[in-house]
Amino acid sequence: MTMSNLAPIPELYVSYDSAQKLKNEAAELTSHDLSPRQICDLELLMNGGFNPLKGFLTEEDYDGVVENMRLSSGALWPMPITLDVSEKFAKTLELGQDIALRDQEGVILGTMTVTDRWTPDKSREAEKVFGADDTAHPAVNYLHNTAGKVYLGGPVTGIQQPVHYDFRGRRDTPNELRAHFRKLGWRKIVAFQTRNPLHRAHQELTFRAAKEAQANLLIHPSVGMTKPGDVDHFTRVRCYEAVLDKYPASTTTMSLLPLAMRMGGPREAVWHGLIRANHGCTHFIVGRDHAGPGKNSQGEDFYGPYDAQELFRKHQADIGVEMVDFKHMVWVQERAQYEPMDEIEDKDKVTILNISGTELRRRLSEGLEIPEWFSFPEVVKELRRTKPPRAKQGFTVFFTGFSGSGKSTIANALMVKLMEMGGRPVTLLDGDIVRKNLSSELGFSKEHRDLNIRRIGYVASEITKNGGIAICAPIAPYAATRRAVREDVEAFGAFIEVHVATSIEECERRDRKGLYKLAREGKIKEFTGISDPYDVPQNAELVVETENVDVDNCAHQVILKLESMGLIAG
C-alpha cells in the first residue's frame, strides 16, 4: 500500500532566509490588514490545507467554483476563497502589483501578486454556493454586510504563520500531521470535524466509526470562526481534552484546525473532506445536516438532513477521502449503553433516551441536571464554568423606536427596577449619553448612525461578557446594524430587542424636543421617519405599545419578559 496520503504536500512558504529578505522589502509595499476570517483563509492557503490553491482565487477560478465547484484546471473545489477589499483600497492598486498581507497588529504574514480584481455578483454567489440569497444564513449575511465589495485574486507567497498564543502544542499544519501519522505508523485515519463540545454519544460514534473502518481517529475541531453564538473555542478545547482520556490509548489524537467555517452545508462538507485529505486523512465522518446554519427566514432548515452526505458521496473519488456515515447514537436505558438508533431491534420494548443540543443548552442555561449517561462530568464542569445559569449571566436589553417614542423613559424605569432587585451592575446606554461620551464627533449620516450603534453594541457586549446588564435606547433605524449588535452581544449572553412601537403620528404629536417641527421645515436632514427610513423589527423579543399605557406598566412588561427568559430569578 502506498503512503501517498502521508507524503509531504506543497506549501506556499519560502525558506527562512528568503522570508527575512522579503520582510525587509515589504516595507515598500502597499499593505492590506486582514480580517480575522481572511487570516484563517490565508493560514490554510500557506500551509497546504487548501491545496491545490496557490493563492486567492482568480476571477476565472472563482466563476468555476461558484458555478460548478471546479477550478479552471478541472480540480474539485467547492468554496470561494477570495480576498475581499473595499472599493477605495482596490482603486489604489494596479494589476501585477505585489501587496503585503498583514495581521491586525501589522505583522506581515505573506505577500500577494494582484493578478485579478473584480466586483462579484454576491447574490449569485449566495444562491449557488449557499443555496439561497437569504441573510438569515451567517455566510450570506457576511457576504453582503461585512465583506468588501471588490475581490482580489492572485498567488500568495508565505512569509510566516499567523501567531497563536493558545494551545500551541495542539496546532498542526497538514505536513506536521502527516509526519505525526508516519511516525506512529498510522495508515488509515478517520477525521471528525466538530464545532461543538463532545458528549458521550459523539465519543461512542467516533470510536465506532474508527473501529468499523479499522482506522485510527483524528478529532479535528474548527477553531477559526464558527457560527455566531457557538461555545467559544477555548472552552471547547478544554472539553475535548477532557474527552481524549476516554478513548483507548494510542488510537486517537486531536489537532486544532484554524478554519473559518461558512456553515455551507453540502458544499462545506465537500470542502471539509478536501481539507482533511490534505491533512493526511483517509476517511471522514459526515454528520446529519453537516455544517448546517439552522433555519432560513421562512423558519425552515436551509439544507435537508442528508444533502451533505449525498453530495459528498457523489464526489468521493475526487475528494480522495472515504465518507463514514454518522450513526445516530441513542442511550438504551435497560442495557445502559449507547447503540445506533437504526440497529435497535426491540425499539418498542426498551427506553430510548436522547438529549438534543437545544435541550442541553436549556439545561445549562437553567442550571438543571445533566445526566452522566449523556455527558462526561468533566465536560459538564467545563461548560458550567463558562456558562453559569441564566439568572447569573449578563444580558442586554436593546430598545429601538422612533425619536420621542418613549424609549429613554422606559429604559430609565427599567434601570431603576433592576437596581432595586440588585445582584448585577446595571448600565444605561441612552442615545444622548452615548452621543456625549462615546460619539461626540459623529453626525447623523447613515454611516455615522451605524458607527454610533456599533459602538453602543460593543460596550453592551463587554458589559454582558462581564456579567452586567446593559440597557440601550438608541433609535437604531437599520435592521442590518441591529443584527450585527445582536451577534456581538449573543457571543456573551442574552440579547432582548424591545420595539417601542409608538406610531410616527403620536411621536410627532408629542414632539418633546421640537425635532419633528425642525425636520418638517427641512432644518434637520435625514430624520428617522420623516426623511430617513426606519426598518420595523420583524422578530423583536418584545413589542411595547406606549399610547394610553403608563411608563411603569411598559417597564413591567420588560421585567416579565426577562423573568420568562430565566434572566431574572422569578
What residues are labeled active site? 194-196
Q: Is the pLDDT of residue 29 over 60?
A: yes
Determine the pLDDT at residue 3.
60
Whether 420 and 555 share a structural domain: yes
Pairing of strands 216-221, 189-194: parallel
Q: 110, 128, 158 — which closes off a domain?
A: 158
Determine the pLDDT at residue 570.
67
Determine the pLDDT at residue 293.
92
Whether 67 and 215 share a structural domain: no
- Residue 555 inside a domain? The answer is yes
**Structural contact between residues 396 and 496, judged by C-beta atoms closer than 8 angstroms:** yes
Whether 396 and 320 share a structural domain: no
- Residue 335 inside a domain? The answer is no
How far is residue 80 CA from its own chain's centroid? Answer: 17
Domain range enclosing 128? 16-158
406 among annotated binding-site residues: yes
280 among annotated binding-site residues: no
Domain of residue 73, CATH code = 3.10.400.10
Determine the pLDDT at residue 1.
39
Region class of 88: left (phi > 0), else alpha (psi between -120 and 50), else beta? alpha
Whether 150 and 176 share a structural domain: no
Q: For the chain, what is the domain count? A: 3
407 among annotated binding-site residues: yes
402 among annotated binding-site residues: yes
131 among annotated binding-site residues: no
- Report which of residues 60 and 511 the model is more confident about: 60
Whether 138 and 192 share a structural domain: no
Poorest-pLDDT segment among 34-48, 363-377, 408-422 = 363-377
Whether 177 and 318 share a structural domain: yes
pTM of the predicted structure, to 2 decimals: 0.81
Determine the pLDDT at residue 524.
84
Beta strands in 368-478 (DSSP E): 395-400, 426-430, 469-473
Whether 317 and 456 share a structural domain: no
Whether 295 and 418 share a structural domain: no
- Report which of residues 66 and 250 the model is more confident about: 66
Given the C-alpha cell 500577494, which residue does it identify? 112
Q: Is the pLDDT of residue 294 over 60?
A: yes
Mean pLDDT of 102-121: 97
Q: 330, 347, 371 — which closes off a domain?
A: 330
Mean pLDDT of 236-245: 92
- Residue 452 inside a domain? The answer is yes
Determine the pLDDT at residue 406.
92
- Residue 359 inside a domain? The answer is no
Q: Is the pLDDT of residue 74 over 50?
A: yes
Whether 308 and 397 share a structural domain: no
Cell numbers at residue 489, please? 452581544
Beta strands in 291-374 (DSSP E): 322-325, 329-332, 337-340, 352-353
- Residue 32 inside a domain? The answer is yes
Per-residue pLDDT of 506-559, as tens digits, reads 999 998 888 888 888 888 888 888 888 899 999 899 999 998 899 999 999 999
Q: 300, 315, 330 — which closes off a domain?
A: 330
Q: Is the pLDDT of residue 338 over 60?
A: yes
Confidence bin at 328 (pLDDT 50/70/90): confident
Report the mean per-residue pLDDT for the chain: 93
Question: How far is it, in rounded angstroms, from Cα 544 to Cα 500?
Answer: 5
